[in-house]
Every structure is written in structure tokens, then in C-alpha cells.
Amino acid sequence: MHADTFFAGCRAHKVCQDYSRASNLIPNRSYAIVSDGCSSSPDTDFGARFLTLAAARDLFRSPNFYPEDIITKAATFLIPPLVPECLDATLLIARETPEGVDVHVAGDGFVIARTRNLPDRQVPGCSHLLTYEFDFRGAPAYLSYLLDSGRRETYLKEGYGVRTIRAWSLWQDREPSLLSLHSDNPFTGEADYPSGHLGGMGPFFTHTFPRETYDLVVICTDGAGAFQHKETFEPVSFGKVLYHLTAFPSFTGEFVTRRVRKFLTKECTELGWVQNDDLAVGAIYLGDTP
């Protein structure tokens, strides 16, 4: 079992507003966390770090942890001139459990789980990726809104808050195949699916990937969906990007760092792809490592 993360800025931002953190210190309790600060709010590079550190501190202190606790503890790091709006950031958490990997998602981004080698694989020698895409139409329901009911009400009155959850099936060299489409509102409780169907409602989307079915779980900020072709300016399919980001040749050491760095510095140049947003990637591998 092993975990690692990596984050990188893009030319569009003077300061990288994504952050990530991983730990393998406790046997069978590894974790990976990524966070993406809002580009239109002040100092969210700090906020992304505060949220990540608050989540990491509480991750295994009790069987359950709650978004309200995380954002409240993150707010204790605020020292003027930092303001509460600097906590406008997404938070994606993967933590290893005896059953597999639990994921908790507040905001937008991607969660990818690789199916273990199965006898009925559709493409020999190719991995199958179950992918959840979380979409808020560019205005995520940040945990920071839990600190200020006025900001939260304004956000909802402006027509934001609907979380679209798409489940995709990804195979190499194929376009993503849509498996399901659901939506809810983390703040109002409105949903088009039965309670508990997708891990419950609220600021956190939660789901467990059992270790007998999946050997790799990857979390990405929404920067994975912000690549385009340099010459034509056409967007690159997020499925193609995710396949590159999860094509780990090994799982020892800083395996995420090596893969993502090579993708951004070498492979994107060869493919003619341009990175248009900050990117953070984290992963937990449940297989055996040499």
C-alpha cells in the first residue's frame, strides 16, 4: 500500500492555488489529499493549504470526520491580513481503510478507480477506469460557505449550488462512456437520487472503493479537464488526460510525482497539449510494491 501526491501551477496563474499532501506513516492508513483554491478569491493558495492540513490532522482521530469540523479548524489558521474568503477552495480526500479506500469530495474535480485484473476485461492488456466527475458549472460549493450563512444564501440566490455527478467508464484509446448522471445541492439537500444512493448528501460526496475490486484510487482537481490543443485551441478530452495521469509504470517512492511531472514537462509538449489551469493529483495504490 502506498500513497503520493503532486501539484503544479500553470502560466495563467501567478501563484499556484492548488495544493496536495500524502502520508504512508501509519500502516494500512495511508491518505492523499488535494485542494484547489478559487482564482477569484484572495490568497487561496494559503486557504488550500489550511484546508488540507486541517483535514490531515483529523483524518484518523475518529471513525468519522465532518466538513463543519474541518472548515472550522482551518479558519483557526487565519491571521490578518488573511480573510475568511481565502478558504474558498475545494477538498478531495482519499483515505485507506481495512475495506479499501474511502473518498470524500467537497467541490469539483475527478475521482478515478482502477479495476483489478478481471477475466472478462473488454480490452486485453488495458486498464479499466471508473471515473466520477463533479461539476458545479465553475462555482463550487466551498466548505467556507458553512462559516457564513450570508455568503451561502447569496450563493444560492444567484442560482449556484447544483452539483452534477457523472460516472464514466474509461478504456484506453476510447472516448469516455457515460454510466450515470445525477445531481444534488450540498446546501439545500435537494437531489434527484434516493438518499444514500451515492454515499449520502451534504458538502461531502462520500464513496468507498472496495480493495477486492479496485487496486488504485486517484483524485484530481478540475485542472485535469482544462487541457487544450496548442494549435487548434480545441479542448482535450478529460478521459485522455486521466489515462496519461494514471499510467504509472511503478508504485514505489514518489510515483505520482514522477508520472505527473513527466506528463506535464514532456508528454504534453510531444502531444501539443497546453495546461490551462493548476493541477493537483493524489493516489493510493492497494497492490503489492517491490
Average pLDDT of the residues in 30-35:
97
Reply yes or no on whether the pLDDT at 199 is more than 80.
no
Residue 202: pLDDT band by 50, 70, 90 thresholds? confident
What local confidence, expressed as pLDDT, does residue 119 receive? 47
> Domain ranges in the chain?
2-285
Reply yes or no on whether the pLDDT at 60 is more than 80.
no
Reply yes or no on whether the pLDDT at 14 is more than 50.
yes
Reply yes or no on whether the pLDDT at 201 is more than 80.
no
What local confidence, expressed as pLDDT, does residue 124 receive? 47
What local confidence, expressed as pLDDT, does residue 11 receive? 79
Percent of the chain with pLDDT over 70: 92
- CATH number corresponding to 2-285: 3.60.40.10
Question: Using an 8 Å Cβ cutoff, are 1 and 96 in contact?
Answer: yes
What local confidence, expressed as pLDDT, does residue 62 receive? 64
What local confidence, expressed as pLDDT, does residue 63 receive? 63
Q: What CA–CA distance (Å, rounded) separates 199 from 140?
A: 19
Tell me how far apart the terminal alpha carbons of the chain are, to the nearest angstrom. 11
Tell me the CA distances in angstroms from 26 to 2, 23, 57, 185, 217, one per residue in order: 11, 8, 13, 35, 18
DSSP type of residue 221: -
Phi, psi of 165 (to 5 degrees): -115, 110
Question: Using an 8 Å Cβ cutoff, are 58 and 67 in contact?
Answer: no
Residue 59: pLDDT band by 50, 70, 90 thresholds? confident
Does the pTM exceed 0.85?
Answer: yes
Average pLDDT of the residues in 51-62:
87
